[in-house]
Structure 1
């Protein structure tokens, strides 16, 4: 990064911080059940599949009114459609949470006996300039514990800052470069843990205006639905 651009990045960061609307987390229950439709799976009904979603503001459902329209609810419906089974979902999310906070504050609350656990993190670690080394240490600990509680763990890549319409160009490129550094570490960490799958955020590209909520930073109900559908498609049935 050109050091002469750092004042520009700092100024753009302050502008975005004070001009972007702060959307609250999704309301309503943080647990639910998605009934099987049987449209894709060969096994209709049966024992419910238990899943958990853990992470930052996207796990908390910022941008939608309820978790039914957030990642957790959409992920459960997509898995139910694929498997033909009902899916019981739980979500542990916190607006502004870094991976360190997720590790020590949220992870201990996640139950065991899960079929799938999804980790949504990275935005706040990029924004707070956490080092790739610190990120890797926390990620290794988090996915290691999740792998003991779930048959399969999916880790989503850092959301693509280059697509965020709320970010000015120079800041957007700077944050995208930092996110790429964390994603490189994530790929390496996840590849070393059995049952853990890393999913690149580029799989949800391109993102049109309808993908974003009114803050132009978090996903809309449509955006969560598209993202969750793609992630669910990577889960082994």
Structure 2
């Protein structure tokens, strides 16, 4: 209730800052590269990546340097990976749910998700957001019967260089509350894990974000991929 009240009070400043950010932030495109294929050799493994612009790899020029590429590079010597990427700039959880309806229903061993940033920018409450996560992961289980689902946490948006305060602070509060709900939800599932987007850790390693100050860089995608592949190796 307090966060909702603060949001209402800040609306005039948020509208102005949001307009300035949209006008001044560098617009990056989705990277080049295939969105599905078979890579590597070894034990067969099927992989689906779902979500928003971070899942799509925005921030780098080619999928080889994005999350998809980082995962494939680290698994290709031990697994024959049949993979698919379904992600798009600007996708909210609702849009990802709609995209799932367009995908073939089939089994994937692993599903990796990244959603939340675009829900934060719409100032969605954590209560509404986690209800949508229930819908999303329920549909993932129903359509793909994965052995492992790895959910990326919502990034700490108050640390995004592209965002000024109080907009950054407010987005950070929404992201934090969403992550609290996500951690609780994942802990109740038998086949789910979540990965926290630890931007402070990346900064301590002198890793920068992409040029737009909003998306991961190649180095951040590499570390994210390492965390994902570590969970996959543990499970398989």
TM range (shorter): 0.7 to 0.9
Q: Which runs of 5+ in 1 are unaligned?
A: 36-44
1:225 aligns with 2:219: no
SS at 1:169 equivalent = coil
User: When the two structures are aligned, how many residues end up with a matched partner?
Assistant: 226
1:12 aligns with 2:17: yes
Alignment partners' CA distance in 1, 2:165 and 2:175: 15
Partner of 1:215: 212
Quote how far apart the aligned CAs of 1:158 are. 0.3
Partner of 1:59: 55
Alignment partners' CA distance in 2, 1:105 and 1:121: 13
After the TM superposition, which of the residue ranges 95-104 and 7-16 deviates more from structure 2? Answer: 7-16
After TM superposition, the structure 1 = structure 2 runs for residues 157-196 of structure 1, keeping only pairs within 5 Å, are 157-196=153-192
Q: Which runs of 5+ in 2 are unaligned?
A: none
After the TM superposition, which of the residue ranges 154-163 and 105-114 deviates more from structure 2? Answer: 105-114
Quote how far apart the aligned CAs of 1:153 are. 0.3
Partner of 2:70: 74
1:46 aligns with 2:54: no
Quote how far apart the aligned CAs of 1:70 are. 1.2
Cα 1:161–1:20 shift into 2, 3 Å: same
Quote how far apart the aligned CAs of 1:163 are. 2.4
SS at 1:215 equivalent = coil
Quote how far apart the aligned CAs of 1:108 are. 4.2
Partner of 1:87: 81
Backbone CA RMSD of aligned residues: 2.3
Q: Check conservation: 1:73, 1:89, Cα contact below 8 A.
A: no
SS at 1:153 equivalent = strand
Cα 1:4–1:129 shift into 2, 3 Å: closer
Q: Check conservation: 2:47, 2:109, Cα contact below 8 A.
A: yes
After the TM superposition, which of the residue ranges 4-13 and 167-176 deviates more from structure 2? Answer: 4-13
Q: Check conservation: 2:151, 2:194, Cα contact below 8 A.
A: yes
Partner of 1:152: 148
Quote how far apart the aligned CAs of 1:97 are. 0.5
